[in-house]
Chain A
Amino acid sequence: MMEALLSALLALASPERLMYMALGVGIGYAIGVLPALGGLAGLSLVLPFIYGLDEVAALAMLVGLVAVAATADTFSSILMGIPGSSASQATILDGFPMARRGEAARALSASFIASMVGGIVGAVILTGAVLVARPLILALTTAELFMLAVLGLSMVGVLAGRSFAKGVVACGMGLALGTVGAAPATSEYRLDFGTIYLSDGLPLPVLVLGIFALPEIVDLARGGGTISQTAELGRGWFAGLRDTLRHWWLLVRSSAIGSVLGAIPGLGGSVTDWIVYGHAIQTEKNGQFGKGDVRGVIAVEASNNAREGGALVPTLFFGIPSSGTMAVFLGGMTLIGIEAGPQLVTNRLDLTYAIIWSLAIANVMGTGLCFLTSPLIARLTVIRFGLIAPFMVMVVCFGAFNTNRDLADLFLLLGIGALGLLMRRYGWPRPPFVVGFVLAQPMETYLYQALQFHGWSFLLRPGVLVIAGLILICVFLGIRQRQLAEAEDETPRAAETRRAQALFALVPVVLFAAVLADALRQSFLGGVFPGGLAAVMLLISLPLALQIGFARNPPGGLLHDAEVQPDPELGGFWTYLGWVAGLVALAALIGFFLANILFFLAFLHRAARCSWPMTLALTAIACGVLLVSAQVLVLDFPAGVLQAMVDLPWPLR
């Protein structure tokens, strides 16, 4: 084994192969920096070019790309509050508040170090996994997978924020929206309204961008000024390093959890994020999580790099990709003539170790690259936000559209954005919503399959009991943590907008009623999960809405209004979402590319009060960025009515 390890390292050490790795790292970095595009987009980008490369060089490039995309996507999470990719959402909860406090440098440096350590831990665990992964993965049946999904769900307790009831209902909304599309047990279409778009279920990237990024953009635009409230970067580069060293034990734990969960096929990457974040909240003392606690950044960033190492386990040894990124990776391996599977370890141990080394080396390279460039990129936070806002809207729309490449992506983005804006304002926690959404499908599938395969006795399997024990510990830790959360201050205007809050509380009620009504039309197996869920949630959400509307002494945290002092000068609550809505509506008419030009001209000149030369220059830059991205991603922009009537050349097509 040692021999194979060393010879793999020597094989990698040729200048040519290292250059290909560096190329992968460079592309991964570029894709990572661009918000909302993850490793998946990057890999699809290089796939056409790996043909004809030698095996080790091609693998080094692919691995390098995946490893670095997970580090560089931190930039947009921390600096702009836009999830860098749909599988790294939790970073924004603490990273972005730090940037706003003027601690962008500290947050970035902590996250890069954590990413690097996480990536290396992932590589080490992968090395060990070569020998033992197979029996371990095969020990996890559908029953244990279901319980792991429940474990993920139990994190809602600590992610709920001030009002536990609201957290549960938010999670229920996520679960309910997660059941849209084909039923796992029967392939019946639920709430698809006869459209192909909805029959595939709602796309996670769009949902995440809508729920987190749009509300932040709106909020920043209304605030005027810069992202960093102190208009400073902070000189925290060493502070971040110190933070990471001080919390080394959390770093190790998060990396280990990330790589182990990442290695489990069929759980989904984004669950890992939230489990690790929840774990940090449960176990760390005196946390200020959600308000800019550096430990939130460290834990999540360590785990999402470690996860990529873990995710390689089922991909390499079973030929089963555990994520979209890994599916492309597997396709790339096939193209260069390597077949993943058990024989990869027995016959091609050298390649296996070359992959592992690439992972470790690329993580170091990528961290270096991120450090080198971050002082420059971090300057974004000290630029007047009016100038950045249209770019952020553009990249969020572009990222959303790149998932399904359907105009409906933009409408969904807008709808979820409005929901996210109101949830934020009225104190409905958004993380439980996302957790529910990502877990709906695995929960339903594995529950159904476990019952089919094992009957109810699946609950007595040893693995299930062990995970059940873990869940109890998490719930216990969560309850202890809750007492702290509930002791927080009231928002000043909480009582004034009570009627609006009660009306908004009816949104989940209506959603659950619709899901229940739809479920009743399905066959038993197709409707039992969403129907049962919606029925239970109706029993919780309806009284909650009534309590918000009418309770004489509402419990703490129930009433909430984050709208502090509306300043009519800076625009009303809906103004900036209106701008986005205008862009989307215009895109539906004349196509996204043209609509985006008009949006830039109008926004920069009217809302940001730029001079015409400035407006035109920024608009031209935006067009250039869009064209280049669309060109390399082989993408047509969303088409509108105009394109349906007139045949236009690319990019107007």
Chain B
Amino acid sequence: MSIITPQGQTGRRDLLRLGAAGLVAAGTLPGRAARAQDFAGKTIEWIIPLQVGGGSDTWARFHLPFLSRHLPGHPTIVIRNITGGGGINGTNQFAARARPDGLTILGTTGSVQFPYLLGDPRVRYDYKAWAPVLAGPTGGVLYIRPELGVRSVADFAKLKAAQGLKYGSQGPTSLDIVPALAFEILGLDVQIVFGMQGRGPGRLAFERGETPIDYQTTSAFNAQVMPLVREGKAVPLFSWGALNAQGELVRDPNFPDLPHFAEFATAALGAPPSGPAWEAWRTLFVAGFAAQKFVVLPKETPAAILDTYRAAFARTLADPEYKEKRAAVIGEYDEVTGEACNRAYAAATNMSDTTRAWVRDWLLRRFNHRM
């Protein structure tokens, strides 16, 4: 019966004893990061700026035993959820407090990337100050109700002519900006209804018939929407796509039979999508899906520590147990570390000034939303 004592809660427990004995025995901590490459007896804090039980939290908790197993010294890793402002608060705190000692890491996600890219005034963090050690992709599928009579892009004219298209969104600058921009690029007249508390309630609105068009991320699509597709109650139109090793948009490996968004748009519009809306869609798609999740450390962290993390994640990704169990949490996507991770990071955290200005203006025009 060892489940209540995970190996090595020692760091904190020793402190606890220390505290009980002297209470104010401050300043006697062993030298931080004395040996960068060995974490034996250390406690690593993994900051997740979102709720316990949410997608990012579950992702981190899934990774946690593997990371502990593959880091030298098998440190104790604890997840610390610092919530607020949709992820901005905890990320701000990481930016202000994390030391370059490899003992505090941050798990970021699309909803933390977006406010940064769009210039939210509450953001006090800069992705340029961090070094990524793991990148995790996901994807999404857009689907519609069968009553619209649209089976594929061949019926696009019918979709374009459809009356009363509605979409349930979590907010103008949430991940749901990606479908909203897709509608813009396709020239679809979709009424966006805000106030959905997550994609789950959005899907519920679809199932109730209140919204005829919806998207879900890959894992939710597979678990919740595929049964509807089989029953003929939902028709998938396209996936957002995925990035290949060269950074090109290709079909999502989870949905090889579905066109990706650019394919769909090209067929629908007669030409490949281009212009500021497309640029914006592409950047936000990468930040929100293709390279949604990162593990980062402060950039000044010694290279030896960063490489230790990269090696640990590389070993995780090769771990047979990881491969066997990842489907439920991550789906059939390949997480990456090293160079591929750096490339994804650069793509997900950079937006040109002109594109940013265009998006901000578009938010104002389209939704009367001011950042």
Contacts and interface: CB of A to CB of B under 8 A. Distances in A.
Contacts of B80: 634
Contact of B208 (A138, A199, A445): A138
B61 A51 contact: yes
Interface of B: 1, 3-4, 6, 12-13, 15-16, 19-20, 23-24, 26-29, 51-54, 57-58, 61-62, 64-65, 78-85, 88-89, 92, 122, 166, 168, 171-173, 191, 193-195, 197-198, 200-201, 203-205, 207-208, 210-211, 219-220, 222-224, 227-228, 325, 327-329, 367-369
A631 interface: yes
A334 B369 contact: no
A597 B23 contact: yes
B223 A187 contact: no
A338 B23 CA distance: 44
Given A51-B61, A649-B27, A445 B6 contact: no
A330 B26 contact: no
Contacts of A523: 368
Nearest to B367: A186
15 contacts: A142-B210, A184-B195, A185-B194, A186-B368, A331-B53, A339-B219, A339-B223, A342-B227, A405-B83, A449-B205, A452-B191, A453-B193, A523-B368, A597-B23, A634-B80
B51 A327 contact: yes
Interface in A103-149: 137-142
B223 A319 contact: yes
B114 to A, nearest CB: 12
Contacts of B54: 327, 331
Nearest to A524: B368
A404 interface: yes
Contact of B52 (A53, A142, A328, A448): A328
A452 B65 CA distance: 46
Given A318-B224, A319-B223, A331-B57, A196 B194 contact: no
Contacts of B198: 320
Interface string A274-289: 0000000000000000
A488 interface: no
Nearest to B231: A342
B53 A187 contact: no
Q: Which of B15, B58, B368, B369 has the most CB of A within 10 A?
A: B58
Nearest to A597: B23
Interface in A393-409: 404-406
B367 A43 contact: no
A182 interface: yes
A445 B195 contact: yes
A337 interface: yes
A374 interface: no
Contact of B325 (A49, A337, A597, A634): A337
A290 B79 CA distance: 42
Contacts of A339: 219, 222-223, 328
Interface of A: 19, 23, 40, 43-44, 47-49, 51-53, 137-142, 182, 184-188, 196-197, 199-200, 265-266, 318-321, 324, 327-332, 334-335, 337-343, 346, 404-406, 445, 448-449, 452-454, 523, 597, 623-624, 627-628, 631, 634, 648-652
B29 A319 contact: no
Contact of A634 (B19, B79, B224, B329): B79
Nearest to A333: B328
Given A52-B65, A405-B82, A649-B29, 7 more contacts: A44-B81, A187-B171, A196-B92, A320-B198, A328-B52, A329-B53, A331-B61
A265 to B, nearest CB: 7
Contacts of A454: 210
Given A265-B204, A319-B200, A334 B166 contact: no
Cβ-closest 10 pairs across A and B: A184-B195, A331-B53, A328-B53, A320-B200, A327-B53, A196-B85, A339-B223, A187-B171, A341-B223, A44-B52
A49 B78 CA distance: 12
Nearest to B17: A627
A330 B53 contact: yes
Nearest to A137: B204
A329 B51 CA distance: 12
Given A406-B84, A453-B193, A341 B224 contact: yes
Contact of B195 (A44, A330, A449, A628): A449
A339 B223 CA distance: 7
A334 B227 contact: no
A631 B228 CA distance: 45
Contacts of B79: 48, 634
A650 B200 CA distance: 38
B200 A184 contact: no
A197 B197 CA distance: 18
Given A266-B201, A453-B210, A650 B58 contact: no
Contact of A142 (B51, B65, B82, B205): B205
Nearest to B121: A194
Contacts of B168: 449
Given A48-B64, A51-B61, A651-B19, A324 B223 contact: no
Given A405-B82, A453-B193, A337 B19 contact: no
B16 A335 contact: no
Contacts of B171: 182, 187
Nearest to A53: B3
A448 B195 contact: yes
Nearest to B83: A404
A631 B166 CA distance: 47
Nearest to B170: A187
Contact of A49 (B3, B15, B16): B3
Nearest to B23: A623
A191 to B, nearest CB: 15
Contacts of A188: 369
Contacts of B82: 405
A595 to B, nearest CB: 13
A546 B64 CA distance: 61
Contacts of B53: 43-44, 47, 321, 324, 327-332
A47 B219 contact: no
B227 A452 contact: no
Contacts of B368: 186, 523
Nearest to A347: B227
Contact of A40 (B52, B88, B207): B52
A197 B84 contact: yes
Nearest to B29: A649
A186 B223 contact: no
Contacts of A328: 52-53
Contact of A343 (B61, B197, B203, B223): B223
